[in-house]
């Protein structure tokens, strides 16, 4: 994707450090490892933003408030050494009940007044949403592990943090990426 189309994402620091060099131009392209994410509140209490409402930040590019600095963190790890080769993050793009299990009801939406995730409900981020990626422009083809961590700094209290990390095997050919073996991980 061209830097021109990544201006909003660049403002939110969603690109690799090489994208911020002074010689990078609007027509330069970045390679993005895009993936969807669906987060479920499996607890009995609401998952509410870590910051109070008066401190939510308005993002004019995306036309909504961010209620957390980092809702999710993404690491791309070398499959052999487990060394981090790239990373990304998702601010609370818009913390809301996208859908709910049968018997549960949506109570939170993407507004300036209510953001959160109700018990039994999901917040879904499609792969085409800004910052729902890792910038892999500088990553060589090979085998990797995608590690997705929700509430990575434990800023929102939960009864169980052991289900907040998912790991997937990634095979990157230089042109395509293939994911397999996604599992919940305790770390």
Question: pLDDT for 56-86, tens place per residue?
Answer: 878 777 777 777 778 899 999 999 999 999 9
- What is the reported pLDDT for 23? 94
- What is the reported pLDDT for 98? 94
State yes or no: pLDDT of 180 exceeds 90.
yes
Contact predicate 3/100, CB 8 Å: no
- What is the reported pLDDT for 112? 59
Please state whether the predicted TM-score (pTM) of the whole model is above 0.85: yes
**If you average pLDDT over every residue of the chain, what do you get?**
91
* CA–CA distances in Å: residue 10 to residues 3, 26, 30, 159: 8, 11, 11, 34
- What is the reported pLDDT for 33? 97
Question: pLDDT for 12-43, tens place per residue?
Answer: 889 999 999 999 999 999 999 999 999 999 99
State yes or no: pLDDT of 178 exceeds 90.
yes
Question: pLDDT for 139-160, tens place per residue?
Answer: 999 999 999 999 999 989 999 9
Report the alpha-carbon distance of residue 82 to residue 84 in Å, rounded: 6
Enumerate residues 6+ apart whose C-beta is below 8 A from 108: 46, 95, 96, 97, 114, 115, 116, 117, 118, 121
- What is the reported pLDDT for 94? 75
């Amino acid at each position: 994707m061209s830097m021109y189309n990544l201006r909003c994402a660049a403002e939110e620091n969603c690109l690799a450090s090489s994208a911020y060099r002074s010689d990078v131009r609007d027509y330069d392209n970045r390679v993005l490892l895009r993936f969807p994410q669906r987060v479920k509140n499996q607890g009995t209490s609401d998952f509410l933003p870590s910051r109070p409402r008066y401190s939510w930040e308005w993002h004019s590019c995306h036309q909504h408030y961010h209620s957390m600095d980092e809702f999710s963190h993404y690491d791309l790890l070398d499959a052999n050494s487990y060394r981090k080769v790239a990373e990304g993050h998702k601010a609370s793009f818009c913390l809301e009940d996208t859908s709910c299990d049968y018997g549960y009801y949506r109570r939170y939406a993407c507004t300036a007044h209510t953001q959160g995730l109700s018990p039994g409900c999901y917040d879904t981020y499609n792969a085409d949403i800004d910052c729902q990626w890792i910038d892999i422009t500088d990553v060589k083809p090979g085998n990797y592990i995608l590690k997705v961590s929700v509430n990575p700094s434990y800023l929102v209290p939960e009864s169980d943090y052991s289900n907040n990390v998912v790991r997937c095997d990634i095979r990157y050919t230089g042109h395509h990426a293939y994911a397999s073996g996604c599992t919940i991980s305790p770390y």
